[in-house]
Structure 1
Amino acid sequence: MPVIAIAALALLAAAPAPVAPKRVVSLNMCADQLLVALADPGQIAALTEWARDPELSAVAVQARAFPFTHRTAEEVMALRPDLVIGAPFRTKAVLAPLKAQGVRMVELPKGEGVEGIEASITTIAEAVGHPARGRTLIAGMRRELARIGPPPGRGRIAAYYQRNGFLTGTGTRVDDMMQRVGLVNLAGKLGRPALSRLSLEEMALERPDFLVMDGGTRVVADRGTAALHHPILDAAVPASHRFYIPQSLTVCGSPAFPRAVAMLAEQVRAADRAR
């Protein structure tokens, strides 16, 4: 090996490892969940107020152990962070003095589906100084997905139908979940964007094989959920073909996502067994 190359390798080996941050503040609901999974508890200075909400957060119970903010610049500055993750645009502008003082600002990578989740895990694991934990978490997710087994959907049509008639389209995390179970997204079949509205009458005409819904819509809680229990919809898709996934497992790209895929696969198999 040339002398220059040997010297370069020696310098790399001697270079000190990056110093792990001691006070991390998350300003992003999805970053909250990754921090809880990857950082030392003592590193977390604050999560967002949403981290404790069980409808939105898969780590709601664990998050109660940590302080939280309402994501204002004043709160962040008072916490004296050395790493801020996921600052909204306006907040980031106000936090410019902190950045000038050497405080790191890290963004979550864009991207839906498992690939996007893995990229986010890698980014946060490296940012908090625990890259090996990130690799372990990714390996665990892959094992969970592999255990789900052959996709039971067999190309049947499913619609992810939300409050007030919103339909989740392709290129989304929910669409990735459907594909992994072997289901075809009705929104893709109709050429709809990532989010659109489909009336009850239109849904009844399409008559998808299955409806996938947020677990919080099982009962009527407001006008938005009432539409999901309308007789028109009942006639189009029977109750046995309605599947419920907790929103906390899909709203963010988190390590909990494989649980959502597994739950959907099991509900498809249960519907088939009941036929």
Structure 2
Amino acid sequence: MIRLAALLLAAPGLVSAAPRLPRVVSINPCVDAVLARVADPAQIVGISHYSQDIRATSVPLSWSNRFKATSGTAEEVVALRPDIVLAGPHVEPATIAALKRLKIALVQYPVAESVPESMEQVRAIAAATGHAARGEALAARIAAAATPARVAPVGALVWQGNGLVPGAGTLTDDLLKRAGFRNMSAAYGLKQWDVLPLEYLVANPPRVLLSTAPAGVQDDRMTGHPAVRRLAQHIKVAPYPTRLMNCGGPTIIAAMARLRQVRGAVTS
């Protein structure tokens, strides 16, 4: 053992140092949510300012407030001297140009429209930060949480305060199906993302209405409307927090738990 140690000291080239983890800046709150689960805090040098906004964040403020937040401008991002910048599909042209000029890698991720797509993004983000194994572990947790329920589907609709409804081809649509619901968006002739007027909802209500208004809210123009409150006497109206719709990734785990809870309280 002593001879082996002496040999290694005499020939340092035989021992490869662990690679330095990349300095990462995220300018997308959904990327932040994944980084919170897969990256080392020390390598995160910047996150999206949305992650420090209680109305928009998909991560605990106790985590996000530890980091420098930016709005994604070229000046802010470059000043942090990252090795890699992770972003969503929309990045300011000036930021893209600056990163290209300085040879700083930029990776953009589209909005995931299904659980498998979201899992692939988790793996890709984890690999980009040097933690592929953590990405695989998180993807496995997401897959387990999103296992399709073996129950008869019940008609449901996710209805936001402005009447906006997620339809076919959205991550929310995929989650509804996996939890044992049938997204009623198509029954109203709605597109992938579309607005459902209150009159249409009242005339043909779904069995379950998932409302993004906080429980007990009365002053929301749509979800707090008296007509919607009257509907609750005939259908199930259940709160579905907006934060569960903001992102995929690890948020899927909490979203599926909430959807299964609601589905379990409804008879087919």
Shorter chain as normaliser: what TM range?
0.7 to 0.9
Q: Which moved more, 1:128-137 or 1:95-104?
A: 95-104
Partners of 1:123 and 1:30 lie apart in 2 by: 13
Pairing of 1:61-80 with structure 2 (within 5 A): 61=61, 62-80=63-81
Indicate the residue corresponding to 1:130 in structure 2.
131
Structure 1: stretches of 5+ with no match in the other structure: 1-15
2:129 counterpart of 1:139:
no
Partners of 1:132 and 1:80 lie apart in 2 by: 26
Indicate the residue corresponding to 1:6 in structure 2.
none
Indicate the residue corresponding to 2:45 in structure 1.
45
Partners of 1:113 and 1:90 lie apart in 2 by: 22
**What letter is aligned with 1:258?**
I
Q: Secondary structure at the match of 2:246?
A: coil
Indicate the residue corresponding to 1:118 in structure 2.
119
Indicate the residue corresponding to 1:270 in structure 2.
265
Pairing of 1:5-24 with structure 2 (within 5 A): 21-24=21-24
Q: Which moved more, 1:42-51 or 1:249-258?
A: 249-258
Name the CA shift for 1:72/1:239 in 2 (closer, same or farther; >3 Å).
farther
Partners of 1:270 and 1:94 lie apart in 2 by: 48
Instruction: Check whether the contact 1:26–1:86 (CA below 8 A) recurs between aligned residues.
Output: yes
Instruction: Check whether the contact 2:85–2:107 (CA below 8 A) recurs between aligned residues.
Output: yes
Name the CA shift for 1:73/1:25 in 2 (closer, same or farther; >3 Å).
same
Structure 2: stretches of 5+ with no match in the other structure: 1-15
Q: CA deviation at 1:168?
A: 1.9
Instruction: Check whether the contact 1:26–1:84 (CA below 8 A) recurs between aligned residues.
Output: yes
Instruction: Check whether the contact 1:57–1:249 (CA below 8 A) recurs between aligned residues.
Output: no
TM-score by length of 2: 0.84
Q: CA deviation at 1:250?
A: 2.2
Instruction: Check whether the contact 1:212–1:243 (CA below 8 A) recurs between aligned residues.
Output: yes
Q: CA deviation at 1:87?
A: 6.3
For residues 9-67 of structure 1, what are the alpha-carbon distances to aligned partners after superposition, in whole Å with 9 as ceiling and x for unaligned? xxxxxxx9995543211111111111111111011001011112333223133112111
**What letter is aligned with 1:119?**
E
Pairing of 1:159-198 with structure 2 (within 5 A): 159-198=157-196
Q: Secondary structure at the match of 2:72?
A: coil
TM-score by length of 1: 0.82
Partners of 1:95 and 1:145 lie apart in 2 by: 35
Indicate the residue corresponding to 1:104 in structure 2.
105
Instruction: Check whether the contact 1:249–1:257 (CA below 8 A) recurs between aligned residues.
Output: yes
Partners of 1:133 and 1:95 lie apart in 2 by: 28
Higher helix share: 1
Instruction: Check whether the contact 2:22–2:130 (CA below 8 A) recurs between aligned residues.
Output: no
Indicate the residue corresponding to 1:257 in structure 2.
252
Instruction: Check whether the contact 2:25–2:86 (CA below 8 A) recurs between aligned residues.
Output: yes
Indicate the residue corresponding to 2:240 in structure 1.
245
